[in-house]
């Protein structure tokens, strides 16, 4: 458990590098905002979260409840999901636009091409969508929800 990263994960680095290459500048893990978003685009009043499917209890093929200590894990994941909802509500209430990118959109059999995910991020950053989510192909329609 001590080796599990909370920041600078492989999916997060993919998104950061791709958006930086496209000319977007951002702050990382701003302590002044609820939930310490992975990327903060202050000029655009937008934040991005890159969530791991296991830790945030995403309903996708990458999430599987552990067979041991199921009560502990069910409580932990439910708490994480509840916290995520509160953070999204607090950020939205403060006028921030929130995009959540799920790990399954970047990994696994149903992943999106990386360029297409970066295109989705760009559409979100340039647009007026207040809340968006990018998940794997089987859960998404290919557009940002919002």
Residue 74 placed within a domain: yes
Residue 144 falls within a domain, yes or no? Answer: no
**Strands, sheet with 46-51, edge to edge from the N-terminal-most edge strand:** 27-28, 39-41, 46-51, 97-102, 131-134
What does the alpha-carbon distance between residue 146 and residue 137 come to, in Å, rounded to a whole number?
Answer: 17
Q: How many domains is the chain partitioned into structurally?
A: 1
In this prediction, residue 15 carries a pLDDT of: 96
Q: How confident is the model at residue 4 (pLDDT cuts 50, 70, 90)?
A: low
**C-alpha–C-alpha distance, residues 94 and 88, integer Å:** 10
Residue 76 is part of which domain span?
10-134
In a domain, residue 142? The reply is no
pLDDT at residue 141 greater than cutoff 50: no
**Residue 2: inside a domain:** no
d(CA 61, CA 53): 9
State residue 111 phi and psi, 5-degree precision.
Answer: -70, 160
Distance CA 12, CA 101 (A): 9
Instruction: Provide the CATH number for the domain around residue 37.
Output: 3.40.960.10
CA distance 71 to 60: 20
In this prediction, what percent of the chain has a pLDDT beyond 90?
69
Predicted local confidence at residue 108, as pLDDT: 82
For all residues of the chain together, what is the average pLDDT? Answer: 89
Per-position b or e across 94-103, b if 16+ CB within 10 A of its CB: eebbbbbbbb
Residue 140 lies in a domain: no
pTM above the 0.75 mark? Answer: yes
Residue 83 belongs to some domain of the structure: yes
Average pLDDT rounded to a whole number, residues 31-60:
94
Tens of pLDDT, residues 41-51: 999 999 999 99
**Residue 23 contacts by C-beta under 8 Å, 6 or more apart in sequence?**
none
Q: Is residue 3 part of a domain?
A: no
pLDDT confidence band for 139 (50 / 70 / 90): low
Residue 90, phi then psi, degrees to nearest 5: -65, -40
Residue 69 in any domain: the answer is yes
Closest CA to 22 of 135, 136, 123, 140: 123
Q: Which of 114, 15, 110, 14 minimizes the C-alpha distance to 62?
A: 110
What is the tens place of the pLDDT at every residue in 78-116?
Answer: 999 999 999 999 999 999 999 999 999 998 888 899 999
Q: Is the pLDDT of residue 142 over 50?
A: no
């Amino acid at each position: 458990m001590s080796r599990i990263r909370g920041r600078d994960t492989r999916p997060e680095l993919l998104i950061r590098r791709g958006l930086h290459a496209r000319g977007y500048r951002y702050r990382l893990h701003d302590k002044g905002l609820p939930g310490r978003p992975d990327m903060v685009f202050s000029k655009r009043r937008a934040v991005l979260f890159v969530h791991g499917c296991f830790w945030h209890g995403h309903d996708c093929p990458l999430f599987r409840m552990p067979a041991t200590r199921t009560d502990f894990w069910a409580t932990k994941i439910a708490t994480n999901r509840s916290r995520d909802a509160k953070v999204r509500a607090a950020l939205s209430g403060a006028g921030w636009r929130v995009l959540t990118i799920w790990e399954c959109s970047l990994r696994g059999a149903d992943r999106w091409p990386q360029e297409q995910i970066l295109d989705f991020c760009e559409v979100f950053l340039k647009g007026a969508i207040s809340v968006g989510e990018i998940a794997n192909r089987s859960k998404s329609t290919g557009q940002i929800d919002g």
